[in-house]
Each structure stands twice: as structure tokens, then as C-alpha cells.
Amino acid sequence: MNILVLNSGSSSLKYQLIDLENEEALAKGLAERIGVRTAEGSCLMHEAKGKKPYNVSADMPNHDVAMDVVFQALTDPEAGAIRDICEISAVGHRVVHGGEGFSQPTLITNETLAEIDKCSELAPLHNPPNLAGIRACRRVMPDVPQVAVFDTAFFTPIPKRAYIYALPYNLYKEYGVRRYGFHGTSHRYVTARARKLLAQTGMDVSEIKIVSCHLGNGCSASAVVGGKPIDTSLGMTPAEGLVMGTRGGDMDPAIIPFLMRRLDMTPDDIDNLINKKSGLLGVSGTSSDMRDIEAKAEAGDERAALAFDIFCYRARKYVGAYAAAMGGIDVIVFTGGIGQNSPAVRNGICEGLGFLGAEIDPRKNDGFRGEGSISKDNARVRIMVIPTDEEKMIARETAEVVSDLMASARR
């Protein structure tokens, strides 16, 4: 079964074609600058297994056109992975926000689309482009089953005490103001992978307590007990919690009305400040990229060093808080672009967590690549690095929905 996995952004379309029999990526690519008028123009970077990279510049004014370009690449005689799009069995779409209505991967229908659209108010930067990608794909493949896999769905089990804000309760009941959580597909994948790896060592993982740290341009931490989440750092929107590339995470909410009055800022100004001008970029004043932050800090840039320290300190506090929430901790998992590739960040976060039994082995941590443990051999808490694979997770969940659909049709 070949599953096409799509992740549609406001000006991008990322994809993988996965052969689910061996969970191997047959092709992957990224269409960029969709609908953006620049001197460079729109482009597609595509690569199929055993083929040379295929890059093409093309006018892509919208996701409909971008989808056509993607399918041309997938079926190209020299650079493609399949002869015809009929070889695609199903399509799995990453959808950021499913609200309270979607707790599982869901077959896409017209009714499903309408409900996802209602959630756009909660994720205005993410759900509309997700919908654009779905509609473009349905136009090209109207008879192929398509499934929405929601970032928020993994966090459905978290208890009310963790997702209700201490605001007037009617704001939750009438407007859906609550914690939803994001990066759920990533947290689901890495915590399941950690449990599998540790079970192979003979560890009882039935009630294992894990803090997973997804660290990239967007960051989140989740507390997961026995495979089920009990809390997560991102909230009603992807702006709460840890320090991120351009988002500041937790702060005193009274800062917002203060700035609006003092600087005559509008709600749009505040939204732009919180989501695009804060975080590593806001503190350092130069970059939202942790690689730049580390390099500048090592060169003596005080604000870059401060941004690095705040990033690690905030994450360390969440690890400690979630250990308290779970009544202990067995594993810390690092994933995401920063979590997988920055020994300095991993060390900075775990520094001082020895009282919990979490101690990094510097020899394992420095230059670590791949998946495995970086904790000291005798440490009570395992510290692991597990590269996330959201596309593989989406493909698996898409196949489950389609298989259930086919089984129902046979009854």
C-alpha cells in the first residue's frame, strides 16, 4: 500500500510517498514559495529512491497548481517513483487543529472539511493552508480515500485539570478556550518508539513515565504515562510553553494589555509580536536559528548566550514540573531539529537534573547521531535521542482508517 503524506503550509507543500509494507519512503519533496511573488519564484525540490534529485522552478500561484506540479514529479519517467497516480492507495493529511471534535484520524468528507474549517479560528495560520492542500488533492484524486491526522488528537486523554484554564468557565463552554496541545503526531511517535526500544531491554513499560521534548523552530514538552499523555506545554494555540524560534512561550498575560496601552498596539500587532518577533529571535536580536545562537554565544555574543540559557532553563523547568505531575520520571526523550542535533542544548537542559536521576554521559552526547541513549550507564533516568518521523506515523494512521473502511465495506 502506497500512502501519500501531505503537510500543507501557507506557502509550502511538503510530501512523502511511503510504501507501508516496509515503511520506506519512495519519494519526498517540498514545494516552496507557493503564491509568493518573489524574484526567485516558486520551486519544487523532489527526490525519489534511487533517482537523481529533481528540482524545478514553476509558477505556483496556489496549492491547486502546486499539487499538479507534485504529481508531475511523482510520475516523471526519469525522476518519479510511480508510473501513475492510481498507484497511490490513500492520502494522509497533517491537520494542525482538530478542536474537541476530532480525537482520532478521520476519513475526509465534505462534512469533515466543514468541521476542520470551523477550527480555523483556533489556528488561523495553519488550518486554512491545511484545507487548501486537502482540496487540491481531492480535485486531482477524487476517488482515493483521504484521511486527516490531527496534531491535537494525541492529547485528547489529558485530564480537565490539565487543559482547563483558570478563566471564567463559560469561555471554555462557549468559545472553546482550553489547552489543546500540538506536535501530537511527533510525541506519539517518539514515545511509542522509546517504549518499544526499552521493552526490548526487558524493561516493564506498561506504566513508564516519559517527558518528551520536541525542540525545533516550534517547541513543546509532553508528559506521557504508559503511552497516554497527561499534560503538554502548548496551549489553545502554538504560542504557550517553551521558548521557540520566534515565539516566547509562557509569560505574564498582563503584559499584553500593558503593551497595548503603552505602545498603542492592536491585537494584530500583539499577535505578530508573540508569534513572529519573540523567542530566540526576540532575545538575541539576530536569529531564530539555534545553530546561529550557539555560534554567536561561543563567539562572545551576550544576548545570544542569554537566549540559549533561557531556552534551556525553560525546558528544564518543564521536565521538573512534569516529573512532579507524573509522580516520577523514567525517560527523557529529545527530538526535533534542535533536540536531535544539538548536544549543547541537551546538556544545558539536563544540567542540574541529577537529583531526579537524569545524568548525561558527555562521551555519548557529544556528536551523537541516530537513535539511542545518551545517559550514564548507571543513571536511574534514561535520556534518549529519537529522530521523529511524523510522516511515517501519519501513513500508519491513514492505513488504519482505510483498512477499517475496507473491512466495513466487506461486511
For the stretch 278-294, pLDDT in tens is 999 999 999 999 999 99
- What is the pTM assigned to this prediction? 0.92
Helix (H) or strand (E) segment spanning residue 7: strand 2-8
Cα separations (Å) of 272 from 33, 190, 248, 267, 383? 20, 31, 12, 9, 36
Single out the catalytic residue among 68, 117, 151, 377. 151
pLDDT grade, residue 252 (50/70/90)? Answer: very high
For residue 236, pLDDT beyond 90: yes
User: CB atoms < 10 A from the CB of 217, how many?
Assistant: 16
For residue 406, pLDDT beyond 80: no
DSSP state of 87: G
Contact residues for 313 (Cβ-Cβ < 8 A; gap 6+): none
What is the pLDDT at residue 38?
Answer: 58
**Range scoring the smallest mean pLDDT among 138-142, 196-200, 240-244, 382-386:** 138-142
What is the pLDDT at residue 353?
Answer: 97
Cell of 18: 511511503
SS3 label, residue 276: helix
What is the pLDDT at residue 35?
Answer: 85
Cα dihedral 248, 297, 213, 237 in deg (nearest 10): 10
For residue 121, pLDDT beyond 90: no
Cα separations (Å) of 14 from 157, 268, 378? 29, 28, 42
Q: Average pLDDT for residues 30-49, to the nearest whole number?
A: 84
Asked if residue 96 lies in contact with residue 127, where contact means CB atoms within 8 angstroms, the answer is yes
Cell of 133: 492542500
Sign of CA dihedral 251, 253, 259, 260: positive
Report the C-alpha gap between 297 and 396 in whole angstroms.
Answer: 41
What is the pLDDT at residue 39?
Answer: 53
What is the pLDDT at residue 11?
Answer: 85
What is the pLDDT at residue 41?
Answer: 78
The per-residue pLDDT for range 318-363, each reduced to its tens digit, is 999 999 999 999 999 999 999 999 999 999 999 999 999 999 999 9
Asked if residue 34 lies in contact with residue 12, where contact means CB atoms within 8 angstroms, the answer is yes
Across the beta sheet with 331-335, the strand order is 228-232, 219-225, 209-215, 331-335, 382-385, 372-373
The per-residue pLDDT for range 351-401, each reduced to its tens digit, is 999 999 999 999 999 989 999 999 999 999 999 999 999 999 999 999 999
The per-residue pLDDT for range 124-147, each reduced to its tens digit, is 878 999 999 999 999 999 999 999
Nearest to 15 by CA among 167, 192, 133, 123: 133
Burial class (CB in 10 A: 0-12, 13-18, 19+), 300: exposed
Task: Kindly indicate whether the domain formed by 202-390 is annotated with CATH number 3.30.420.40.
Answer: yes
Place of cell 486523554: 157
Q: Where are the domains of the chain?
A: 2-150, 202-390
Task: Tell which CATH architecture fits domain 2-150.
Answer: 2-Layer Sandwich (3.30)
Radius of gyration for the chain, computed over Cα atoms and rounded to the nearest angstrom: 22
For residue 304, pLDDT beyond 60: yes
| Domain 2-150 and domain 202-390 have a common topology | yes
Report the C-alpha gap between 156 and 20 in whole angstroms.
Answer: 26
For residue 36, pLDDT beyond 80: no
What is the pLDDT at residue 326?
Answer: 98
Is 19 among the catalytic positions? no
Cell of 136: 487540491
